[in-house]
Chain A
């Protein structure tokens, strides 16, 4: 008797080869190409001073940004968790915004604020007599600027886990210290802080990973300047755009080195996160009774929010509204013309349309694929090991730096692929410079969001709810669609937004993969801000920020009000 193939078999048959083609092959090609000339290519790559400096700078910017993230994120996370600081709810929202804002928009904002000649801070300093024209007060270009801006965009990776760990720490640990005679602050330091240490370490490593993978910030602040400071990602981009054979080969080698560093950081972060323990459900620790410290923390948190969030966002909006960029923004120097001009341009419209289309399609694919993996893993009757492996492989690419993933895809799919049928009909497909290649890149890179969210959502649905549907006459697929899917919907919509946002503003991969006819928001913005037209770039930056704020509001509505119907 022929059996109807099960949903499980069909899904496994689709997922496994797709993951192999779009994740396995590119990584294999990258490794293979790096080893064509033997391992010596790595030595060559390091021996060339510009490469060696780039790798060194990557480490410096990574460690620097991680240090800034730790210095800022851990105290803020602790304050939000355990002190009754003023405006806690709003702070909790504002302080996480930089996580969703494209980092290169922050970099642009800081250029407007603190570039040596035209930066508004420097102009203000000159007009107040604090500095002179040739001797700027602050200079955002170069390594310190890169570390500063990366730190300010990555600190939420430390803040969020610190806050979560401290809020779920067992209060009795601290109470024991109080009974033992310690004051509230001392009890916190000895009782609760050690419990949060693994989470803080994991967050710091994630920030490090983000910094070494960053492209937009180190490019805008390190390349488009008189004294270039290259990191690995910008060096790879430069070498690829120059296109000389030797450069390409050393780029590939650098990619592999960057990949090793990224995987090491990811692995360490996962290890650290797993060490977390000793948390209890139910009882939450109370706010610390330390009025002096609370006042200081309130002031510090709001001052930081002003500098890290309000200032760059305000600068982006002002830059978009400023008539003459060289003059400080003021009542006579504001206009909406730039919005109409920029949005009226054909290439802007094409880029916005491409980004919207790509982000929509990739977010949808990511959620659907994530759901399929979750279904196989949690409801499948097949081997749980295969399903767990599928889930692992689909989460892996998130740890691959965008530049590395893009280069690997470029190497794997740059040739025309010819399908020859019956010797005379030839169909040739070329992904190069098309939206398809970008789509593949976005889906692969952000698939982890879909897989994780869908898995969490499906695990939360009691399996007997589906069994009740089975008994009622529904097949396994039908039961999943009728029961688990509707119950998981809010979480899946949140996952969709989480995947849409970075895809809509993606730069790092797009800059390597987009062709002249497949420009997206990120690449257009990048072009405008690094070469020609900062005010127009600011307009696009405003659009990106508006998207971030809208997504944040939507996410909050989805997660704060669980579906009661």
Chain B
């Protein structure tokens, strides 16, 4: 294991942010801590970094107990949400700083700074001042500075949240390919489920300081283990339903219960794209129709509960507010209520 958290507790005054939390992160793995704001993901990251002290528990990095070590002695790299690029140092001076602190020889510093700037495609900006750079470029400086010291673990605190949509997708891909190439153990904190799904090896979904589920992106998406995960990731419909073990009923609709699913009062989880327009399906009133180009989002009244359906735009013209749409459910997950 590369990073190991054991029974980490943290409170601010009377507010408990982390009930005992444990987490193992494998070598070379990119793990995303995903959750809404205030879920404890940033606090967890800062405890790994040593910027916050846990009230109790143990932090290990590469098998060494670092719980008592200050951040400067943990051998980490970190990219901050607002970049935290030092405005009074040039790009090269920013990137050189971790090496200066590590007392690396001058010519070696020059070589490695060049290398690191090359990694993030900023070679020609070495002598620029931060105020001459764009947000995306500052992000790359921060990344180069975090990587230059060859850290044991790379920490990313919402690194893409301040970039515009296009740049965000580009940087996302770049971070992922860099991380793969360097085999760098990486912890990414994000509230953006799409970002987590796109680049993480594993995702830990946090809610109120607890890990609701920790699994690969595909597992998280396909088989959420709690209603919270189902709702937070992928915007799934979480419907109060009843199951007798063979059939799950919700409003006018019924679907076959997956094998081994719980009985009685249950949550039926249906992804919006698993609700299809189907002439043989159940009729539901259309409440709203949102046109998204290739797809259409429909809001349907499923026995008093609103459900979101994502259907191909082609062939959905008849489903307008006030009309009835006949739909069927595809693959579903059933969770105990």
Contact = CB atoms under 8 A, between A and B. Distances in A.
A564 interface: yes
Contact of B77 (A471, A474, A478, A482): A471
Interface stretch (B83-91, B171-179, B218-226, B276-284): B83-91
Given A464-B82, A465-B86, A472 B72 contact: yes
A483 B49 CA distance: 19
Nearest to A470: B71
A464 B98 CA distance: 15
B97 A472 contact: yes
Given A475-B70, A564-B129, A468 B88 contact: no
Contacts of A462: 82, 84
A99 to B, nearest CB: 31
A17 B16 CA distance: 38
Nearest to A473: B101
A136 B61 CA distance: 88
B215 to A, nearest CB: 29
Nearest to A489: B88
Interface in B49-100: 49-51, 70-73, 76-78, 80-82, 84-88, 97-98
Interface string B130-167: 01000000000010011001000001000000000000
B71 A483 contact: no
A467 B72 CA distance: 9
B102 interface: yes
A342 interface: no
A203 to B, nearest CB: 35
A468 B49 CA distance: 10
A288 interface: no
A428 interface: no
A473 B78 CA distance: 11
A467 B87 contact: no
Interface string B193-209: 00000000000000000
A486 interface: yes
A487 interface: yes
B88 A486 contact: yes
Given A467-B51, A565-B129, A472 B80 contact: no
A565 B97 CA distance: 17
In this complex, the interface size class of chain B, counting residues with CB under 8 Å from chain A, is: 20 to 34
Nearest to B142: A468
A467 B81 CA distance: 12
Interface centre among B76, B97, B155 (most CB of A within 10 A): B97
A483 B51 CA distance: 16
A475 B88 contact: no
Contacts of B146: 471
The secondary structure that dominates the A interface is helix
A467 B84 contact: yes
Contacts of A467: 49, 51, 71, 78, 80, 84
Contacts of B97: 469, 472, 474, 482
A538 B304 CA distance: 91
A60 to B, nearest CB: 52
A468 B149 contact: no
Contacts of B85: 468
A371 B44 CA distance: 32
B70 A471 contact: no
A474 B51 CA distance: 12
A226 interface: no
Contacts of B101: 472-474, 478
Nearest to B53: A381
A438 to B, nearest CB: 36
Nearest to B87: A487
A487 B49 CA distance: 24
Nearest to B78: A471
Given A564-B129, A564-B131, A471 B88 contact: no
Query: 8 tightest A-B contacts by CB?
Result: A473-B101, A472-B98, A468-B84, A470-B71, A464-B84, A471-B78, A473-B72, A464-B80
18 contacts: A462-B82, A467-B71, A467-B78, A468-B80, A468-B84, A468-B85, A469-B86, A469-B97, A470-B51, A470-B70, A471-B146, A472-B149, A473-B102, A479-B72, A482-B97, A487-B86, A487-B87, A563-B88
Interface of B: 49-51, 70-73, 76-78, 80-82, 84-88, 97-98, 101-102, 129, 131, 142, 145-146, 149, 155
